[in-house]
A and B are shown apart, each in its own frame.
Chain A
Amino acid sequence: MSSVLQALNQGLHAAFEADDRVVLIGEDLLDPYGGAFKVSRGLSSKYPQRVMTSPVSEAGIVGVAGGMALRGLRPVVEIMFGDFSTLIADQMINGLSKFQGMYNGQAQVPVVVRTPMGGRRGYGPTHSQTLEKLYLGVPGLRTLAANTLSDPGALLKAAILEDDGPVLFVENKLLYAKPVLDAETLKDFEVEVQAIDAGYAPTHLLKLKGSPTPALTLAAYGYMAELGREALLRLAFEHEIFCELVVPNQLAPLASQGRLEEALADSLGRTGRLLTIEEGTFSLGWGAEIAARAAHQLGGQLRATNRVAAAEEPIPASIALEAKALPDVDDILAAARAMV
């Protein structure tokens, strides 16, 4: 079983192998270091001309990638910490994600900006955040989040090779060491796979085999889907609350016309209850949007909805304080039990 880190690294290698228009720009990329989280390892040795280790210029390298993409290359940018996605906001929002639309479809911008997000490693307030919600809803920008249910390397490769628009590719740091799940590990689950608007990024729907009518839909992405799976099992075995878990790889755009994606709509049709789980801060986030769509689409059939998310404070460096600020399995269990 390969880890998420290995899978991502293989995905990058595969993209480089498949298409020599693929280039990589970022800080500290050169071997043997291979990037701060080692996702880019081996590339600079194998493709020295196509890997540009860069100055500490986040906005600049994203703009450079945008210009390269306008001229026919397929650049990948590594932003060392997702917290620094703030620094690239102008290039992402007023540049890359607008070029296709404002130039009236006459330009393509195949850029993937990869970045690790998330806490629980004691890195403190500016190296632990989950900030992708700031980018959700930006027209022209796709935001993807890796998880262990689908091969993150295949997803990354597809984003690099098949997507002609800009992609923000989010990798939760704790996922790197996790195994990409195989059929054996998931043998207790029934797994359905769909995709938002028939795109390339799968959404997984998990339910325990042979379980009675489910009472609650959990929706989670990235590393929070790991906690969601654990919570699902504990709710079933310790509390006899049966849940389904919906895990999208694509956070934005959501399904067209303000609708829920099908996996969620199907599940909520069975459960009527929605609990969203995310590591970003509580207010105005991904979960809020999902809940609003659910309320609109299900009307009176939606019996309950709630969100589990991070506290609205700078993420403390202390292990104990950080654990309190970030959502964990106990928070999910408590929220779920209060809803059923």
Chain B
Amino acid sequence: MRAPEDLYREMSRIRHFEETVLDAFPSGVFYGTTHTYLGQEANAVAVLSQRAAGDIVFSNHRCHGHFIAYGGDMRALFAELMGKPTGVCGGKGGSQHLHWKDFYSNGVLGSTAPVATGAALAEKAKGSGAATVIFLGDGALGQGVLYESLNMAALWGAPILFVLEDNAIAQTTPRELALAGDIQARFEAFGIQSTALNSSDVEEIGSAAEPLLGAVRAGEGPRALVVQTVRFGPHSKGDDTRDAHKMAKLRAARDPLEILGARLKADERIKIEAAAKAEVQEAFAQAQKDPEAV
């Protein structure tokens, strides 16, 4: 696994990016919608810091953090949110529909599961050795096509890691109003070995992901990582229906940057923070200067 400083830097870049998005949205620089990754940074960084060249990532509506952790360019992502030609997809995809190198996202919940499974099967057929990672929220567990995909992924030994980010809410609907039974048991029912943890500690999540990714790469078939996590911000913008007091407590207890930051030297941490912030500001400023679509 990567050094804690590196993991911290990646999480900090995502944090500053997403804070900038939420802060700047009311000013009208962005267009459309957004779903920020605040609070969940550890998941993407833990898993994707272990990516190898050629690995494939499928993501959902909450994709900025996955994209940045994958190595995506922040200026291009800002520009995409601004609908500009310099954006990741020339402004055509917007916040939820990104494709760059081997990274793909789509805003239709669960619809990515069979596509990711197919991508993994293609890599298996080609013998490329690439692993596919797909990020899904707990809300996607309501989609039937996900279960078709788990079945086929297991049946055909797809080299894919399902990362289920369970933040206990889908838009405004708490998990207990939308989900019966057990999440891990869903994967296990298809014979997909899984690890579940309740953590915002990037190192702990990374350690859990490592053997799963190893098994996927070794051709042992699909694996699943179920992470209970906390969404710090609104679902989109200004639409947080949760109890403010409870959320404040969760933010204090479950901040991935605080958890890992406490293990870093104070001055080192400050330096990394400042550099990440400057990088985000620079990317934002450049994207703002980029030409508009005509």
Query: Which residues of A are in contact with B by a Cβ distance under 8 Å?
Result: 23, 49, 52, 54-55, 57, 59-73, 75, 90-91, 94-95, 99, 101-104, 106-107
Query: Which residues of B are in contact with A by a Cβ distance under 8 Å?
Result: 56, 89-90, 92-93, 97, 99-100, 104, 106, 108, 111, 113-123, 125-126, 144-145, 148-149, 151-152, 155-156
Please give the distance in Å from A70's CB to the nearest CB on chain B. 6
Please give the distance in Å from B52's CB to the nearest CB on chain A. 16
Q: List 27 A-B contacts (CB under 8 A).
A: A52-B156, A55-B151, A57-B152, A60-B151, A63-B114, A64-B117, A66-B115, A67-B117, A67-B122, A68-B121, A70-B104, A70-B115, A70-B118, A70-B119, A71-B118, A71-B126, A90-B108, A91-B111, A91-B115, A94-B106, A95-B106, A99-B99, A102-B93, A104-B89, A104-B93, A106-B99, A106-B100
A63 to B153, CA, bound (A): 12
Most buried by A among B89, B114, B120: B114
A75 to B125, CA, bound (A): 12
Establish whether residues A73 and B122, one from each chain, have CB atoms under 8 Å apart when the complex forms: yes
A106 to B100, CA, bound (A): 8
Establish whether residues B122 and A71, one from each chain, have CB atoms under 8 Å apart when the complex forms: yes
Which 8 residue pairs are nearest across A and B when measured between Cβ atoms?
A63-B114, A67-B118, A60-B148, A64-B118, A71-B122, A103-B99, A67-B119, A57-B148
Most buried by B among A49, A67, A91, A103: A67
Specify which of B90, B114, B155 is in contact with A66 (CB 8 Å cutoff).
B114
Establish whether residues A63 and B90, one from each chain, have CB atoms under 8 Å apart when the complex forms: no
Establish whether residues A67 and B116, one from each chain, have CB atoms under 8 Å apart when the complex forms: yes
Specify which of A60, A72, A91, A102 is in contact with B89 (CB 8 Å cutoff).
A102
Specify which of B114, B116, B119, B156 is in contact with A59 (CB 8 Å cutoff).
B114
Q: Name the B residues within 8 Å of A23 (CB-CB).
A: 125
**In the complex where A64-B115, A94-B111 touch, is A106 in contact with B106 (Cβ < 8 A)?**
no
Besides A57-B152, A71-B118, A106-B100, 10 other A-B contacts (C-beta < 8 A): A55-B151, A59-B145, A63-B111, A68-B119, A69-B118, A75-B118, A90-B108, A99-B99, A104-B90, A104-B92
Establish whether residues B92 and A102, one from each chain, have CB atoms under 8 Å apart when the complex forms: yes
Establish whether residues B117 and A73, one from each chain, have CB atoms under 8 Å apart when the complex forms: no
Establish whether residues A90 and B151, one from each chain, have CB atoms under 8 Å apart when the complex forms: no
Minimal Cβ-Cβ distance residue in A for B87? A104
Minimal Cβ-Cβ distance residue in A for B97? A102
Most buried by B among A49, A57, A71, A72: A71
Most buried by A among B97, B100, B120, B152: B152
Please give the distance in Å from B146's CB to the nearest CB on chain A. 9
Please give the distance in Å from A182's CB to the nearest CB on chain B. 39
Please give the distance in Å from A135's CB to the nearest CB on chain B. 17
Establish whether residues B89 and A64, one from each chain, have CB atoms under 8 Å apart when the complex forms: no
Establish whether residues A67 and B99, one from each chain, have CB atoms under 8 Å apart when the complex forms: no
A95 to B109, CA, bound (A): 11
Specify which of A64, A101, A103 is in contact with B152 (CB 8 Å cutoff).
A64
Establish whether residues A63 and B151, one from each chain, have CB atoms under 8 Å apart when the complex forms: no
Q: Name the A residues within 8 Å of B97 (CB-CB).
A: 102-103
A23 to B124, CA, bound (A): 13
Please give the distance in Å from A327's CB to the nearest CB on chain B. 35
Establish whether residues A72 and B121, one from each chain, have CB atoms under 8 Å apart when the complex forms: no
Q: Name the A residues within 8 Å of B111 (CB-CB).
A: 63, 90-91, 94-95
A90 to B119, CA, bound (A): 18
Establish whether residues A55 and B149, one from each chain, have CB atoms under 8 Å apart when the complex forms: no
Minimal Cβ-Cβ distance residue in B for A67? B118
Q: Name the A residues within 8 Å of B56 (CB-CB).
A: 71
A95 to B122, CA, bound (A): 17
Please give the distance in Å from B226's CB to the nearest CB on chain A. 21
Please give the distance in Å from A207's CB to the nearest CB on chain B. 45
Please give the distance in Å from A94's CB to the nearest CB on chain B. 5
A23 to B122, CA, bound (A): 10
**In the complex where A55-B151, A70-B104, A95-B108 touch, is A65 in contact with B156 (Cβ < 8 A)?**
no
Please give the distance in Å from B119's CB to the nearest CB on chain A. 4
**In the complex where A64-B115, A94-B106 touch, is A54 in contact with B152 (Cβ < 8 A)?**
yes
**In the complex where A94-B106, A103-B89, A104-B93 touch, is A67 in contact with B148 (Cβ < 8 A)?**
no
Minimal Cβ-Cβ distance residue in A for B99? A103
Establish whether residues A71 and B117, one from each chain, have CB atoms under 8 Å apart when the complex forms: no
**In the complex where A71-B123, A91-B111, A104-B93 touch, is A55 in contact with B152 (Cβ < 8 A)?**
yes
Q: Name the B residues within 8 Å of A62 (CB-CB).
A: 114
**In the complex where A55-B151, A71-B56, A104-B93 touch, is A60 in contact with B114 (Cβ < 8 A)?**
yes
A57 to B93, CA, bound (A): 28
Establish whether residues A61 and B114, one from each chain, have CB atoms under 8 Å apart when the complex forms: yes
Specify which of A57, A63, A101, A103 is in contact with B118 (CB 8 Å cutoff).
A63
A60 to B122, CA, bound (A): 15
Please give the distance in Å from A202's CB to the nearest CB on chain B. 31
**In the complex where A94-B108, A102-B89 touch, is A60 in contact with B152 (Cβ < 8 A)?**
yes
A306 to B148, CA, bound (A): 44
Establish whether residues A67 and B120, one from each chain, have CB atoms under 8 Å apart when the complex forms: yes
A94 to B151, CA, bound (A): 22
Q: Name the A residues within 8 Å of B123 (CB-CB).
A: 71
A53 to B18, CA, bound (A): 44
A103 to B63, CA, bound (A): 14
